[in-house]
Structure 1
Amino acid sequence: MPMTDRAALADLIRADSAARGRTISRLGYFCAPFRPASGPYTDRVVKIYRGLPDAAALDRLAAAHDAYVEALRAAGVPLPETAFHLVDVDGVRVPVVVQEALPEDSLMRPRMQTGSRDATLAMMQAAGDVIATFWHNVRGDDRRIGFHPSIRNFAILDGRAVFFDTFPPLIDYDRDEMGRLLLQFSEKRLMRLVGPLLRARVTGIQDEWYSAPETLVGLVGSACRLRPEHADAYLDWGRGFARDRMTPWADEALAGLDAPPRLPGYWTGFRRLLGLQGEPNV
């Protein structure tokens, strides 16, 4: 990355959030992504995360993010141009993801909220195709690799679903390590304080992301909560998709699609603590 661009990133980190440009989402999982109003990144979305005092942990995070982006692409997941940087700001290295900006009107969640039943089913099919493609392509991979294909993490471009959530990198961290990352990088101070007291529950949040059938069930559940009037149609779609496109995991997926899937009570509570209100994590 050119020094001028690195300096511009450092300036963005130092700037007050109001001076950075247009905030795309105020309630991302780990930060509030924004699109700079000027400088070399006006065509990018910038995501600034909390720094860590452990230099080795940051280096590992950078390597894992690069590996995860590569793995997603190798597994056939459409992804905008994405880069991870550790930017030195006054002697502190800060993790930053810089990603090609997608058209705001392409974000799947708001389109699911307003689209017709047939239009929303077409979007679910597009997202489902990415989910099935990913899991079939990583089947047999010895690495611990996950995927978080929620409605909030997709855009729809020309009928195709594009995934854009690469943080935390769901690769090569074991279950306990990923649980710690969820706490370390939470934007919510309350979660960082309270979370360790409930570490087992926090760690369990990630389990859906490492399960092929649960990612499909999660997609259907989110759609049912967004548009409950179409829940029966979404359940029918999910059952058919599980049989047709996710045969190795169909039985497990079908078991979760008897009724509109619901979030566990503890997960709902953690979502409030984390500020996870379903806004697009662009």
Structure 2
Amino acid sequence: MTDLDALRDLIRADSATRGQPISRLGYFCAPFRPAEGPFADRVIKVYRGLRDPAALDRLAAAHDDYAAALRDAGVPLPETEFLLLDIDGARVPVILQEALPQDSMMRPLMQSRPLPETLTMMEAAGDVIATFWTAADRFDTRIGFHPSIRNFAIVDGKAVFFDTFPPLIHYSRAEMGKMLLQFSDKALMRWVGPLMQGRVTGIQDEWYSPPETLVGLVGSACRLRPEGVQGYLDWGRDFAERRMPRWRAEALAGLAEPPRLPGYWTGFRKLLGLQGEPNL
């Protein structure tokens, strides 16, 4: 049973008490892991609240459905709990997640390990992508997946996915586009974003496309390790043939050259200071 009072006190505490954020560059929040106490084995993610109680209840239900769907589809996911925590009169979305070893984060491993090892990591992440999309037909609802390098850890040679927010299930494309603004941790994004709602909404499209999730993974690897571009492209093309034949043609078209981020998203990232650090 989660000690909600202790969790409230921890969230209210200043960073010196609760522990420094693990990453300050996340789009939705700056997750932190306490150095000690009852939550020392958890990463805590605190999100912006909403004034609409029904929207918060829907969010909680969607998150539970999404975590269950990921597991049902064979995606390795740490123990994850979603709470709507009453803090100072407001209901605040909070995720408690089993902490993964800090040295298991895929992004820094991709940056630091020899290129042949990084291809092994890509295979592990690709296996999760193919497994998810092969199973996704069983869900009679709109469902997506955001398997970027920054959202994986490599544990005992296997890729573990840990990004469950926003829950990419049930929401329409327009609704998800609004969520990208509502829950952004960046005030500038909430202020500027509505002026470019169409482009903000388009950010999600890759997450709902099986071939584009694979292409996005390869593109991230190419940007992280430019000296390995040809190896990553060769791997991606081979993987599409072997593991994602249903989407082979679209994936191969996207891998004809090193994939690039859309210009508008590159601009948003620079504006907000987001450089793709681990989301945790």
TM-score normalised by L of structure 1: 0.97
1:1-282 correspondence runs (5 A): 1-2=1-2, 5-282=3-280
The 1-side partners of 2:228 and 2:251 are apart by 19
What SS does structure 1 have at the residue aligned with 2:195? helix
What do the CA deviations read for 1:151-206 (whole angstroms, capped 9, x no partner)? Answer: 00000011000000000000000001000110011011010011001000000000
Residues 62 and 84 in structure 1, CA contact (< 8 A), matched pair in contact too: yes
C-alpha deviation, 1:14, in angstroms: 1.4
Residues 124 and 159 in structure 2, CA contact (< 8 A), matched pair in contact too: yes
Moved more, 201-210 or 268-277: 268-277
C-alpha deviation, 1:117, in angstroms: 1.1
Instruction: Indicate the RMSD between aligned Cα atoms, in angstroms.
Output: 1.0
Residues 188 and 273 in structure 1, CA contact (< 8 A), matched pair in contact too: no
Residues 27 and 277 in structure 1, CA contact (< 8 A), matched pair in contact too: yes
The 1-side partners of 2:49 and 2:16 are apart by 20
C-alpha deviation, 1:71, in angstroms: 0.3
The 1-side partners of 2:150 and 2:109 are apart by 10
Residues 186 and 274 in structure 1, CA contact (< 8 A), matched pair in contact too: no
What SS does structure 1 have at the residue aligned with 2:30? coil
The 1-side partners of 2:262 and 2:175 are apart by 22
What SS does structure 2 have at the residue aligned with 1:278? coil
Moved more, 271-280 or 102-111: 271-280
Moved more, 33-42 or 9-18: 9-18
Residues 27 and 186 in structure 2, CA contact (< 8 A), matched pair in contact too: no
The 2-side partners of 1:156 and 1:278 are apart by 17
Question: Which 4+ stretches in 1 moved above 6 angstroms?
Answer: none
The 2-side partners of 1:162 and 1:211 are apart by 20
Aligned residue-pair number = 280
Residue identity (%)? 74
The 1-side partners of 2:98 and 2:11 are apart by 18
Moved more, 25-34 or 70-79: 25-34
The 2-side partners of 1:11 and 1:273 are apart by 33
Q: Which amino acid is the alignment partner of residue 56 of structure 1?
A: A
Q: Which amino acid is the alignment partner of residue 111 of structure 2?
A: Q
C-alpha deviation, 1:267, in angstroms: 0.8
The 1-side partners of 2:25 and 2:104 are apart by 18
Residues 111 and 225 in structure 2, CA contact (< 8 A), matched pair in contact too: yes
Summarize the Cα distance change of 1:31–1:104 in structure 2 as closer, same or farther, 3 Å threshold.
same
The 1-side partners of 2:143 and 2:36 are apart by 36
What SS does structure 2 have at the residue aligned with 1:279? coil
C-alpha deviation, 1:140, in angstroms: 4.9
Residues 80 and 162 in structure 1, CA contact (< 8 A), matched pair in contact too: yes
The 1-side partners of 2:275 and 2:63 are apart by 25
Moved more, 12-21 or 26-35: 12-21
Residues 77 and 134 in structure 1, CA contact (< 8 A), matched pair in contact too: yes
Residues 21 and 32 in structure 2, CA contact (< 8 A), matched pair in contact too: yes
Structure 1 residue ranges without an equivalent (≥5): none
Residues 144 and 172 in structure 1, CA contact (< 8 A), matched pair in contact too: yes
What do the CA deviations read for 1:109-138 (whole angstroms, capped 9, x no partner)? Answer: 000001111100000000000000000001
Moved more, 252-261 or 37-46: 37-46
